[in-house]
Amino acid sequence: MHATLDSIYQRVLDRNPGETEFHQAVREVLESIGPAVDKHPEYAQARIVERICEPERQIIFRVPWEDDDGNIHINRGFRVEFNSALGPYKGGLRFHPSVLLGTVKFLGFEQVFKNALTGLPIGGGKGGSDFDPRGRSDREVMRFCQSFMTELYRHLGEHTDVPAGDMGVGARELGFLFGQYKRITNRYESGVLTGKALVYGGAQVRREATGYGCTFFVERALQTRGDSLAGKDVVVSGAGNVALYTVEKVHQLGGRVVAVSDSSGVVHDPKGVDLELLKEIKEVRRERVSTYADQVGHAEFSSDRSIWDVPCQVALPSATQNELDADGARSLVRGGCLLVGEGANMPTTPDGVRVLRDAGVLFAPGKAANAGGVAASALEMQQNASRDSWTFEYSEQRLREIMVDVHDRCHATADEYGRPGDYVAGANIAGYARVAEAMLALGLV
């Protein structure tokens, strides 16, 4: 690593002990932006990198709530407002028992660069809780969301901080959160949350956007090699919002998704996943993917097989961080994989990325490939601000254009800095340059 950046990284390690995922995210960026730091000494003089690594504000709060049997539970809520040089803090809320401050900081840090890459006016932030919605009744989820928003509302605003969903936070949770925000503030402030249902100010294509966007990015990346998704076997880890709509778009573009997964195991369907059935199982019945194999005779379910052992030409890790390690990457290479596109945030470990890079596999990092979700959120904010709503076709067209731009920006930046085809360098440098320029313009704030 560049010497100045290495000393900045050491300081990040010292000041944020135990936050391993945050360290990993910072390291990955600092390892690639050396050439941009050399090219712009004015950024170094203004200590831009040090400032980017320190969130503008971190909020931690208690979230007490009562379950259906009258038992009291105490969870912890977080919102890390990382950087607002380009616009209001923007980024999702994650409800998952594994969520710690370091998790939210890693996600918030990634979000700053991702949002910058979209070219839209959004800063970066992230939030969430260690609350586990799994197995909870709708009323319990509602009581939790109301308690969470009773603290969070004072930090939000359409021009200040605009959360959305992430793992464990979908349309149901966002509805309860918006209801409580409206009740406390007495304001119908549609633009304060994105990912809303269509009936109360949501936008077409927001639900599909992360998966569709990742697929558009991948299609564009394949095009640079004179190739396409048509006729390819694809594996998509996960079976949440990102994975489901990735499967949908891959199928529309002529690829065939042969495996999906969730925390219970992997389903391999060599004939191509039946998406309508999978949606019914995951979105309506909220069941596990094993049910899929119970209903589809030729599909196989395994609770201990790795999804990366299923041979494919394209792999789209879309579940969670660090799910694809060096062993998984080696399996993919053995199985003939040409491209890995990250639908989730940081799903590939640093060792995994190295294995893929050494084998010449095209690698599309999450902060570029999964930017479609937040890009569609920015379009939702735009529609809310003008009290307008666009058609599905127009919204999808805008999303596609944005993803092609994100791809081309990463590709061109990688070329400019002598790293052709290196989307990690391209994404990190292009994201950094845009945030740095805005921060420089705004003075020491």
Helix, strand and coil percent figures for the chain, each rounded to 5: 50, 15, 35
Stretch that binds ligand GLU, among 6-14, 57-65, 87-95, 316-324 (CB under 6 A): 87-95
Task: State the nearest-atom distance from the C-beta of 309 to ligand GLU, in Å.
Answer: 27
Q: How many CB atoms lie within 10 A of CB 132?
A: 15
Q: Binder to ligand GLU among 34, 55, 77, 92 (CB under 6 A)?
A: 92
CA distance readout (Å), 21 to 28, 34, 99, 347, 401:
11, 21, 11, 11, 31
Tokens of 437: 């320029």
Q: How far apart are CA 363 and CA 350, in angstroms?
A: 12
Q: Which helix (H) or strand (E) holds 364?
A: strand 362-364
Q: Binder to ligand GLU among 140, 166, 342, 422 (CB under 6 A)?
A: 166
Task: State the nearest-atom distance from the C-beta of 430 to ligand GLU, in Å.
Answer: 17
The type of residue at 9 is Y
Task: State the nearest-atom distance from the C-beta of 92 to ligand GLU, in Å.
Answer: 3
Site for ligand GLU in 124-143 (CB under 6 A): none
431 lies in the binding site for ligand GLU (CB under 6 A): no
Q: Which helix (H) or strand (E) holds 66?
A: strand 57-66
Sheet containing strand 161-164, strands side by side: 57-66, 72-83, 124-129, 89-95, 161-164
39 is a catalytic site residue: no
Q: Which is nearer to ligand GLU, 94 or 136 (CB)?
A: 94
Nearest to 358 by CA among 346, 368, 350: 350
Q: Phi/psi class of residue 260: alpha, beta or left (left: φ > 0; alpha: ψ in -120 to 50)?
A: beta
> What are the DSSP calls for 87-130, one per residue?
SSEEEEEEE-TT--HHHHHHHHHHHHHHHHHTTSS--EEEEEES
- With contacts defined by CB under 6 A, how many residues of the chain interact with ligand GLU? 10
Stretch that binds ligand GLU, among 14-22, 90-98, 220-228, 290-298 (CB under 6 A): 90-98
395 lies in the binding site for ligand GLU (CB under 6 A): no
As beta bridge partners, residue 314 has: 234, 339
Stretch that binds ligand GLU, among 34-42, 84-92, 271-279, 310-318 (CB under 6 A): 84-92
Instruction: Say which of 105, 126, 232, 367 is annotated catalytic.
Output: 126
* Phi, then psi, of 207 in degrees rounded to 5: -60, -40
Q: Which is nearer to ligand GLU, 29 or 310 (CB)?
A: 29
Which residues in 3-26 are b (16+ Cβ under 10 Å) and which e? eebeebbeebeeebeebebbbbbb
Task: State the nearest-atom distance from the C-beta of 313 to ligand GLU, in Å.
Answer: 26
196 lies in the binding site for ligand GLU (CB under 6 A): no
Site string for ligand GLU, 175-194 (x = CB under 6 A): -------------------x
Q: Which is nearer to ligand GLU, 103 or 345 (CB)?
A: 345
Q: Binder to ligand GLU among 12, 99, 164, 214 (CB under 6 A)?
A: 164
Stretch that binds ligand GLU, among 19-27, 86-94, 212-220, 276-284 (CB under 6 A): 86-94
Catalytic residues: 126
Q: What residue ranges bind ligand GLU (CB under 6 A)?
A: 90-92, 164, 166, 194, 345, 373-374, 377
